[in-house]
Amino acid sequence: MVYHEQYSRYAGMVEETLEKLLPGTDEICPKTEGVIPEHLCASMRYSLMAGGKRIRPVLLLAACEMLGGDLEQAKTPAAALEMIHTYSLIHDDLPGMDNDDYRRGRLTNHKVYGVGHAILAGDGLLNYAYECLLENAAAYPENLRGHMLAAKAIANRAGVRGMIAGQSLDLLSEHMEPDAERLLYIHTHKTADLLTAPLLAAAYIAGASEEQIDALRRFGFCVGIAFQIDDDLLDVEGDAALLGKQTGMDAQRGKMTWPALVGVAAAKERSARLWDEAEEALGIFGERAAFMHGFAAQMRTRKS
């Protein structure tokens, strides 16, 4: 199967699983009783089903298949990871953080549902993700350890030693003189950690070897840093219509970015080197890594 067909196949599984897992209309309570207030449910769904690229869950499914794991067991963890990613975007857009008006080509969550409900929608997605992960683990008692390690890897990379740590330093570094060590910390945690999480989760679910886990960790790190450098470059040179969000915002906010540290040309070189390194890390998987190579080839030229 060619790369694009394979990507659509995985992304289709993600959409289907998200639809299956999301609270249904039978759970929505328009008044005060019942399970979930309608406004909350709508705000969660608004951002989650807004047409994101689904990169992280696709990576989880692809890695699981590459390692010979059971895709059925990986579908809910993949969807849960997309919920966590979406929560982070909703909160990142809030006035107290990046204060953005557009995301995924539409108004940001707080612009539509209000700041209070954007916070709650993010909190809701985060908690619901772990509820889904735990329920899924309990459904596979024969692979409970694999699922527990997968859930822990996700919690760790999304949490206070991971994405939240990166976001914290990102906020604290606004209007500071760019510094390479600090910038690498921000990129490692804010971005790379949530791209490594699906690879590690898949590895645990599929029972991968230590050598395979190390290779996936290296691949995830290189992909993550390259992805963030490209994101910084797109903010400088990208097309707002294709990106679905405003450009030029990093400079306006005084963000510490790779182009601010070394300039656009050197940032492009660094990104290209990292994409090469990412593909080198896949060596031990041989031909089974065809999709991952396709992913790297596609991502290094992305425009959105």
Q: Where do contacts with ligand GRG occur on this chain (CB under 6 A)?
A: 52-53, 55, 85, 88-89, 91-92, 104, 163-164, 167, 190-191, 228, 231
Alpha helix (H) ranges present in 67-192? 71-92, 109-113, 115-138, 144-158, 163-172, 180-187
Q: Which is nearer to ligand GRG, 68 or 96 (CB)?
A: 96
Q: Which is nearer to ligand GRG, 56 or 147 (CB)?
A: 56
Q: Which is nearer to ligand GRG, 137 or 278 (CB)?
A: 278
Residue 36 is given by DSSP the state E
Chain residue at closest Cβ approach to ligand GRG: 52
Q: At 262, which amino acid appears? A: V
Q: Which is nearer to ligand GRG, 206 or 292 (CB)?
A: 292
Of the candidates 78, 68, 70, which has an alpha carbon nearest to the alpha carbon of residue 12? 78
As measured in angstroms, the least distance from the Cβ of 27 to ligand GRG is 25
β-sheet bridge partners, residue 37? 29
As measured in angstroms, the least distance from the Cβ of 140 to ligand GRG is 27
Q: Which is nearer to ligand GRG, 137 or 170 (CB)?
A: 170
As measured in angstroms, the least distance from the Cβ of 47 to ligand GRG is 9
Record the tokens describing residue 74, joined without a space.
């990986």
As measured in angstroms, the least distance from the Cβ of 92 to ligand GRG is 4
Query: How is 219-240 classified by DSSP, letter by letter?
Result: HHHHHHHHHHHHHHHHHHH--H
As measured in angstroms, the least distance from the Cβ of 88 to ligand GRG is 4
Q: How far is CA 260 from the centre of its chain?
A: 24
Pairing of strands 102-103, 106-107: antiparallel
